[in-house]
Amino acid sequence: MHPEPSEPATGGAAELDCAQEPGVEESAGDHGSAGRGGCKEEINDPKEICVGSSDTSYHSQQKQSGDNGSGGHFAHPREDREDRGPRMTKSSLQKLCKQHKLYITPALNDTLYLHFKGFDRIENLEEYTGLRCLWLQSNGIQKIENLEAQTELRCLFLQMNLLRKIENLEPLQKLDALNLSNNYIKTIENLSCLPVLNTLQMAHNHLETVEDIQHLQECLRLCVLDLSHNKLSDPEILSILESMPDL
């Protein structure tokens, strides 16, 4: 015969636990509980609650890190952005020529549209020797450079960039119109090398004093000049403008 099944030992185990830890009832009594409340206090041990919350926090952190990707893929977003910055490469220039229905052969183009592209440097224009008009406005260009091959250029549009200095324009002996508005230029300089410069637009720059625009006296062919929205306030500026014969 099989032995009779014994009664569940739950109650006995509870009593045994309470008997093994007599300090629980005293602790419960300190908190205003008595009797069986000591066993309930043991079940709801704050240490167990603390462990549970840390496990939950750990899992939530794992989930969050999993949502953000693994392997540190996004560890250096600034470097990634720099690597993906648009460059004025030969291939990108050819793509823009196709987009604007220009010639694939660089030397055959007399106009090149490079505005609103996010370029921060002028480069790789050596093969575009026939350009007469170059659109470079609304980029992030910080320096006028690498225009040695554009000896036929008549119009250069560099407004809305990050230029701080007028420089490196000596090869552009046929330049007629120059737009440098909306930059950070503090001094008009290095323009006397342009013998046929007729139009100069310098609005929205950082010109302040007579010395900042004194170089205009050496630009004898200038007919159209825009100095609006600068910080010019000295009345002596008028004497500079009066000395320009063709203005």
Determine, yes or no, domain membership for 63.
Answer: no
Strand partners for 178: 156, 200
Beta strands in the chain (DSSP E): 111-113, 133-135, 155-157, 177-179, 199-201, 224-226
Q: Which residue has the higher pLDDT, 19 or 88?
A: 88
pLDDT at residue 31, as a whole number: 46
Residue 66 lies in a domain: no
| Residue numbers of the domain that contains 143 | 96-246
Give how many domains the chain has, as a whole number. Answer: 1
pLDDT at 219 over 70: yes
Query: Is 177 within a domain?
Result: yes
Q: How far apart are CA 110 and CA 105, in angstroms?
A: 11
pLDDT in tens, 162-199: 999 999 999 999 999 999 999 999 999 999 999 999 99
User: Tell me, what's the pLDDT at 61?
Assistant: 52
Residue 101 sits in a domain whose CATH number is: 3.80.10.10
Q: Is residue 195 part of a domain?
A: yes
104 lies in some domain: yes
Domain assignment of residue 52, yes or no: no
Whether 50 is covered by a domain: the verdict is: no
CA 58, CA 63: separation in Å to the nearest integer? 9
Judge whether residue 30 has pLDDT over 70. no
